[in-house]
Amino acid sequence: MYKLPVWQTIKEGLGFIWTEKRAWFDYALIPIIVATAAPMLIGLLLIGKPIIGLASEAEASNLFENLGLRFFVVIGLSALFSAWLYVAFAVAWHRRYLLGPQNTSARELLQWSRRHWIFVGRGVGYFLLVAAVLVPLVFVLNLILGSLIIGLGPAGPVLVPVLVIALFTFFFIQIVGLSLVFPAAAIEDSELGLIAAWTISKGNRWRMIGIILVGTFIPTFIIQFVLLAIVAAITVAVGMTVDSSATPSVSAAIIIELVAQAISFLGIAIGVSMLSIMYRRLRDNVPLETKQTA
């Protein structure tokens, strides 16, 4: 039975990001700028005010109360536009790793094609399947948690959270293999759908969780924490704040948002690289018809 090499996969993924750092810049620069500017422009067009750099929570609350539905429209359109950019970037970066630089370029970000619709369709199917299992699971847990706490006596408040964590961990381990449909969609691999992804990931889901956690989430979190803290400190130090408070001015908020978007696209690139490597290794080493034990 083939086993994913966890540390080798993480090393290869981070090494790919480092080797392709110039390509990442070429791919991500325009999406970063557009993702930062879009909410401002949409806000200015629809409500006469950008939804970035609001001076306080009170100002945001007042804006919501005065605008009502239009505020939600601005938020919704901004989120939809950002999702479009994230999908286009993810598909392009999957292809960068799987097909190589000779067969891909940053121009693909501007060409919405069949593969993007396949990617979105697989994503919708993935999240609907997750929701179809997760919602009933949460409902059932809510029904039985109270009884468990009472029935277990003094140990209930300790054991029940452990049980909940164990159940959700098991759930996410089972569904992580389905994420292989995303790199498959990016290169239009029609043979690997949800069922096939479930099949070839058997026996490797714990390893996939480890690769995603250690190789993607932890590095991205560290980068985000350090960079945003540095940028926030600099904006305060140079006086880019509202009056004498520590609330960022509009210009500071734009800078912070640019950095946040850059981190988001870097995190996507890291995650996509890890997922592409896992897809390539499993696709090459585990035939779709192979029956493996979980």
Hey, where are the domains in the chain?
6-285
pTM here is: 0.84
Q: Is 241 helix (H, G, I), strand (E, B) or coil?
A: strand
> Would you call 288 helix, strand, or coil by DSSP?
coil
Contact 40, 52 (CB under 8 A): yes
Q: What SS3 state is found at 248?
A: strand
Could you tell me which residues are beta bridge partners of residue 248?
241
For helices 6-19 and 205-212, give the axis angle rounded to 10 degrees.
40
Percentage with pLDDT > 70 across the chain: 78
Predicted local distance difference test score (pLDDT) of residue 139: 78
CA dihedral 135, 141, 144, 150 (to 10 degrees): -150
Least confident of 54-63, 163-172, 284-293: 54-63
| 10 pLDDT more than 90 | yes
Closest by CA to 208, choosing from 187, 189, 180, is: 180
Task: Please report which confidence band the pLDDT of residue 55 belongs to, taking 50, 70 and 90 as the band edges.
Answer: very low
Q: For 27, phi and psi rounded to 5 degrees?
A: -75, -40
pLDDT confidence bin for 60, thresholds 50/70/90:
low
Confidence of residue 56 (pLDDT cuts 50, 70, 90): very low
Per-residue pLDDT for 280 more than 80?
yes
Cβ pair 207, 6 in contact under 8 A: yes
Q: Which long-range contacts (CB under 8 A, 24 or more apart) does 18-27 make?
A: 20/96, 20/101, 23/96, 23/101, 23/106, 24/93, 24/265, 24/266, 24/269, 26/106, 27/89, 27/92, 27/93, 27/96, 27/106, 27/109, 27/269
Confidence of residue 213 (pLDDT cuts 50, 70, 90): very high
Q: What is the pLDDT of residue 106?
A: 85
Please tell me the predicted confidence (pLDDT) of residue 288: 78
Nearest Cα residue to 180 out of 159, 164, 195, 165: 195
- DSSP-based three-state secondary structure for 211: helix
Q: What is the pLDDT of residues 249-262, one digit of tens each?
A: 677 778 888 999 99
Q: So what's the pLDDT on residue 245?
A: 53
Q: What is the model's pLDDT at position 289? A: 67
Do 214 and 277 form a contact (C-beta atoms < 8 A)?
no
Q: What is the pLDDT of residues 96-141, one digit of tens each?
A: 999 998 888 888 888 888 999 999 999 999 999 888 888 887 777 7
Higher pLDDT, 80 or 247: 80
Q: By the 8 A CB rule, do 278 and 180 touch?
A: yes
Q: Higher model confidence: residue 250 or residue 275? A: 275
